[in-house]
Amino acid sequence: MRPERLRLLSGPVPNEPVLGGLPQSAQDRREPILRPGNTNCGACGMSVGLQLLRHAVAERQVQMVVPACCGIVAPGPFPFSAFGAPVVASTFAAAAAMATGLAHVARLNGEETRVICWAGDGGTYDIGMATLSAAAERNEDVLYICYDNEIYGNTGGQRSSATPRFASTSTTPGGKSVEKKDIVGIMAAHRVPYVATLSLAHAEDTVRKFRFALGATGFRFLHILAPCPTGWKSEPAHTVELVRLAVRSGLYPVLEVFEGRRYVINVEPEMSVEDLERYLSLQGRFRKVATELVPMRAAVLEHWAELAQRAEREG
């Protein structure tokens, strides 16, 4: 990129998004977390998440630990780095443990550095589960962010325990037969200070939660539903729309859990069947096989009944 172009980009941008009453450029971290030249597919949910994270990080010092996942391929080959932050790769299952060490050294040296794990669903729900659980139990001063594309995207789209029921993947060509894990419930059960789900279609709420989580201490777990146009067989232009539909239909509850006990629902879903239908119809992974709307809808309602109970009883 030529320097003149760079200057143009850093100037005021017409029609820029306004977040929390402030134009985006007024809150941005000078350096994007995800810089141009990254290898992500177009409209990758992870990319959108990292751009929103940039606003929240602002001028805070951060260090990131990224386990094996698309996120560690994103920065491109050595010696280049499309990450605008210090990032170290951990082995697949070890992100939360490696971040533990970094966070302890920061504390031992009186540094304000926030240590962030940025991990996919495979490294979170599956292979990294024990490590994640243990770091949460120790209440390490780590912000763990899972961008959940509901498959092993980096290896070509195999099922994980985050893959939803009925979704066709390269290892469940006939559709997955079981529900995805309730990661929010699992993490909340660790009684960590903060657990939240983030909607890429609700930028203000998402940036607010990123900010809160960055400012809090102890173990914080954030979950992002991150559409993968490549794996979900969806149009890149639909990435944010898909999340919006998932939220509106009740499929993806947007909530916060404080200390594992106090549930707060941030976005009231319309629980519309039409939105659920549309969510499914926009993705090839649900079109290939006989996706049954009735049991999906039932599972959504059942989950909301649980959530309502938790929110009421605990709140």
Partner 1 sequence: MTEALLSSNHAAALAATLAARANRGGRGFGSGVYPITPQTECVELLCQQEIEKGHVVRVESEHSAMAVCMGFAFGGARTFTASSSNGLAYMAENVFAAGLYRLPIVMMAVNRTLGPPWNIWAEHGDTLMLRDAGWIQLYCEDNQEVADTVLATYRLVEDPRILLPALVCQDAFILSHTVARTLLPDQAAVDAFLPALNLPQRLGDKPRTVGGLDWPHDNEVHRRELHEAMGRVEAVYAEVQTAFARTFGRTLADPVVSYRMEDADTVLVSLGTTAATVRAAVDEARSRGIRAGGLRVRLFRPFPEALLTRALEGKKRVGVIDRDLCPGLGGILWAELRGTARGDGVVQGYVAGLGGGDIRVEHVLGILEDLVGRSHASAPVLWEVA
Residue ranges in contact with partner 1 by CB under 8 A: 31, 35, 61, 63, 65, 72-73, 75-79, 81-91, 93-94, 97-109, 113, 130-131, 133-134, 137-138
Taking the least distance from each CB to partner 1, the nearer of 12 and 79 is 79
Report, in Å, the least distance between residue 220 CB and partner 1: 17
As to burial, measured by CB atoms within 10 angstroms (0-12 exposed, 13-18 middle, 19+ buried), residue 68 is: buried
Taking the least distance from each CB to partner 1, the nearer of 11 and 110 is 110
Taking the least distance from each CB to partner 1, the nearer of 99 and 207 is 99
Report, in Å, the least distance between residue 84 CB and partner 1: 5
* Both structure tokens of 26: 């007024």
Taking the least distance from each CB to partner 1, the nearer of 35 and 303 is 35
Rounded Cα distance between 32 and 47, Å, is 11
Report, in Å, the least distance between residue 64 CB and partner 1: 9
| 21-142-183-267 Cα dihedral, nearest 10 degrees | -10
What SS3 state is found at 90?
A: coil
What SS3 state is found at 204?
A: helix
Q: Which residues contact 190 (CB under 8 A, 6 or more apart)?
A: 133, 136, 137, 219, 260
Taking the least distance from each CB to partner 1, the nearer of 6 and 301 is 6
Report, in Å, the least distance between residue 66 CB and partner 1: 8
What SS3 state is found at 123?
A: helix
Report, in Å, the least distance between residue 101 CB and partner 1: 2
